[in-house]
Amino acid sequence: MSPEMTAAPSTSVPVATTLTRMEWSALMMEHNLADGHARQGLPSKELLDRLPEIFALAETDRQIDVEQAFERAFYRAAGQHSVPHRTNRPQHHYSSSVSIEIVANHLRIEGMRVGLLHPTFDNIPDILKRHGVPLVPVPEQVFSAPAELECWDDVDAIFLVVPNNPTGFDPRAEDIERIALECRDRGKLLVIDFCFRFFSRHLGSRDLYAFFEDNGVDHIGIEDVGKVWPTLDLKVGSLVVGERRHEALRAISEDIVLNVSSFIYRLLTESAKFGAVEQARATSVANRAALRSALAGGPAELVDGGDVMSVGWVRLPEGWNCNELVEWLHGRGIGVLPGSPFFWNAQEQGHRYIRLALMRPEAEFETAAKVLARALGEYSPAQ
């Protein structure tokens, strides 16, 4: 058994606050590179001009019609063509965090112990812990050697994030299929957060939901438009649930959400027609290149991985502590996130990393990256 596949001990380094609260603070800063939401600007001015028309149409649309139009646009862009034709339709919510909350409710009710990817964004383990769901860390190596994962006998479900936030790790579709079959053969639930799916080079190549259905995989997929569609956080989070758990999740959903606004569905569907996905991927690639160029020759380096991913994972020099650096940068109007909280089970593993969001207007991001690089060159860690 390789040491990388062994569960890390539960230790932590004190952190002042949650990543989400840091993101909120960064919204007030001159250079906000903290939250991973889509802030790159609408793909077309024509869409902005059509907002009154879109609203008027949404007023008279049937809810089922706008939902299904959105589903066709979203899942076609994602390469998941089977989803709009499922008997068990997707369950839509105001955000992916609401979707995760509903999944956590279900896991708690079922008394399930969960193997959760490590590292990953801290609101996922925080939501699960708040529901009393026991967690076991699962390293990214699970994608290359799922059968070697040590915790299989200790968990009832595996919860993954693909591509992973913050590292950008982007497994191949066939790697996910192997994990899915391993879950099926061992009688485990597979939960995958696909919220960054449009920043993967691999996920669109296969209809994974069709694979899960055809092979009897007990599954829940979490989807989101908020990382791609720059619609000022007017968004939709969704659950795609296998037959075994669909009604149980639906009952929880109905206690929380009646419906998402027909205007939001209309706006997102129209935005897809103007190339929102293509624009987002192009922005991510351009801003990643700008960040790499700005950091060149300086003390920090952009970590390879997820070359179209919408967040950048930056390694700091030996002896630097991300929490101290981030506090120092925030005092200078530069909002980034520390790496430690992403390592929810062993925060010291992330103390040499910071995470930057790339989904910003390109000229604005280039300026911010240069300001950040200059600041890093001036920074002197406390001894």
Q: What is the pLDDT of residues 350-366, one digit of tens each?
A: 999 999 999 999 999 99
Q: In the CATH scheme, what is the code of domain 45-273?
A: 3.40.640.10
| Domain range summary for the chain, segments of one domain joined by + | 3-41+276-378, 45-273
Mean pLDDT over 322-331 rounds to 96
CA-nearest of 202, 83, 223, 80 to 143 is 202
At residue 361, what is the residue type?
P
pLDDT-derived band of residue 304, with 50, 70 and 90 as boundaries? confident
> 118 in helix, strand or coil?
strand
Residue 161 has pLDDT above 50, yes or no: yes
Mean pLDDT over 171-175 rounds to 96
More confident residue, 1 or 242: 242
CATH class for the region spanning 3-41+276-378: alpha beta
Least confident of 13-22, 294-303, 330-339, 340-349: 13-22
- The secondary structure element, H or E, covering residue 213 is helix 208-214
How confident is the model over 238-292, as pLDDT tens digits?
999 999 999 999 999 999 999 999 999 999 999 999 999 999 999 999 999 999 9
- Tell me the C-alpha distance between 188 and 378, whole Å: 50
* 308 within 8 A of 278, measured Cβ to Cβ: no
How confident is the model over 194-231, as pLDDT tens digits?
999 999 999 999 999 999 999 999 999 999 999 999 99
- Tell me the C-alpha distance between 25 and 27, whole Å: 5
- Tell me the C-alpha distance between 173 and 181, whole Å: 13
Q: Map tokens 């699970």 to a residue.
A: 142
pLDDT-derived band of residue 10, with 50, 70 and 90 as boundaries? very low
At residue 111, what is the residue type?
G
Predicted pLDDT at 382: 74
- Tell me the C-alpha distance between 279 and 309, whole Å: 13
